[in-house]
A and B are shown apart, each in its own frame.
Chain A
Amino acid sequence: MISNTIVIVLLVFMVATAYALVRLRNLFAVVMLSGIFSLFAAALYVVMDAVDVAFTEAAVGAGVSTVLMLGTLALTTKMEKVHKKPSPSALVLVLATGALLIYGTLDMPRYGDPTAPINQHVANRYIEKSGTEVGLPNIVTSVLASYRGYDTFGETAVVFTAAVGVLAIIGRSKGGSMPTSTVARRRKEDEHDANNEEMPS
């Protein structure tokens, strides 16, 4: 009962955040709100007992991606450009798609239903056998790293590819314009001082 109330409150907050995200034109506020949205999602996952997912969402969605977005904003612009007024046909299209999606969820099993296909397939085997087959108390780690090792390998490759892509596109800095670090500056000052001592005026 209490967890239902928490879920409803969190979902209401998420809808309000999403609405503000759509309406706002200030991109700095949009980035901050998307971080807040991620944080609400992480809280929701905690209520659903998916702490591993919540941890990742809080670290990646609310933490690092917000910083990366701010970095992107610093490179581009602070305000969203409004080109034209939204057309009514777009509204109809969006409403139709949304109605279709909601219609699709009607067929889905209820949350936590033990007879749902997702809970009948391999999940039971993981819960029953992973203790003797893999031997880790945290089944999530067993599934991620051992049973689903291929998938995690693929995910690692995706992260690698993302970083390589960023390096390939904007990785090359325009030669010699890197800001000098504190250490480099002190080194230069020391050399300067040493030169001055050698040649007293």
Chain B
Amino acid sequence: MMAQKTVLRVVTKLLVPIIVLYALYVQFHGDFGPGGGFQAGVIIASAFIVYGLIFGTADAREVLPSWVTRIMLSLGVMVYGGTGVVALLMGGEFLDYSFLAHDPLHGQHWGIFAVEFGVCLTVSGAMITIFFTFAGHVKEKFSGAEK
């Protein structure tokens, strides 16, 4: 359906890397400004969603197969929970990041970094999975690359 829209295709190709770059900025700058893992995850997902909308879900799935998003989905929760378990093993309480390093402040930084990474993985994986699952059922509407 969208295969002939040259402007949309070119603009999308230009936009996708910028969107991902902005997501990374939001992810790593969340300690200083607004943002964090959740927002970054949604923005990363929106990059893949816009690609899927314009070029068809099948093409987007070549870049990011369903097994990758499923691993992202579960790995994020595991990274989050794992950070808590590591804190537990280092002598603290579950999710008490102060014990992750010798200096409590460094421990907090590492803990928040790991946890935000986990949130970003799960949220982006979930959003991409949900969109592609829905879109996979609507072949004639979203599979623009067909004709």
Q: Which A residues fall within an 8 A CB radius of B? A: 51-52, 54-56, 59-60, 63-64, 67-68, 71-72, 74-75, 133-138, 140-142, 144-146, 149-150, 152-153, 155-157, 159-160, 162-164, 166-167, 170-171, 173, 177-185
Contact = CB atoms under 8 A, between A and B. Distances in A.
B109 A135 contact: yes
Interface of B: 26, 30-36, 38-39, 42-43, 45-46, 49, 53, 55-59, 61-62, 70, 73-74, 76-77, 80-81, 84, 95, 97, 104-105, 108-109, 111-112, 115-116, 118-119, 122-123, 125-127, 129-131, 133-139, 141-143, 145-146
Contacts of B73: 160, 163-164
A71 B112 contact: no
A59 B39 contact: yes
11 contacts: A51-B33, A52-B34, A59-B42, A64-B131, A134-B105, A141-B116, A146-B108, A156-B76, A162-B130, A170-B134, A179-B139
A54 B12 CA distance: 25
B127 A153 contact: no
A113 to B, nearest CB: 24
A4 to B, nearest CB: 23
A182 B59 contact: yes
A179 B143 contact: yes
Contacts, number: 169
B138 A71 contact: yes
A75 B137 contact: yes
A75 B112 contact: no
Nearest to A150: B95
A146 B126 contact: no
Contact of A179 (B26, B105, B146): B146
Highest count of chain B CB atoms <10 Å: which of A142, A162, A166: A166
A64 B133 contact: no
B34 A170 contact: no
A77 to B, nearest CB: 13
A63 B36 CA distance: 17
B84 to A, nearest CB: 7
B52 to A, nearest CB: 10
Highest count of chain B CB atoms <10 Å: which of A68, A133, A141: A141
B134 A72 contact: yes
Given A141-B112, A142-B112, 16 more contacts: A52-B34, A59-B46, A68-B131, A75-B137, A140-B36, A145-B116, A149-B111, A157-B77, A160-B73, A162-B130, A163-B127, A170-B133, A179-B57, A179-B143, A179-B146, A182-B59
